[in-house]
Amino acid sequence: MKKKMAFLMSLTSLTIVLVSTSNVIEAIFQPLTHGWGG
């Protein structure tokens, strides 16, 4: 049971990291793509 909880915790934190990373990447690349578009 404890192992399952630790697994869920790490999975949740990993998801949070992935989401925030993709948000940062999007924030960086959005001006670039807009610049190329017009």
CA quadruple 16, 19, 23, 25: dihedral positive or negative?
positive
Task: Tell whether 22 is covered by a domain.
Answer: yes
Instruction: Decide if 38 is inside a domain.
Output: no
CA–CA distance, 4 with 11 (Å, rounded to integer): 10
Element (H, E) at 14: helix 2-37
Tell me the mean pLDDT in the region 7-31: 95
In this prediction the pTM is 0.61
In a domain, 13, yes or no: yes
Residue numbers of the domain that contains 12: 1-32
Report the chain's terminal Cα–Cα distance, integer Å.
Answer: 55
- Within 13 Å of residue 12, how many CA atoms lie on the same side as its CB? 6
- pLDDT, mean of residues 1-17: 95
Q: In the chain, how many domains are there? A: 1
Q: Is the pLDDT of residue 8 over 70?
A: yes
**Inside any domain, residue 1:** yes
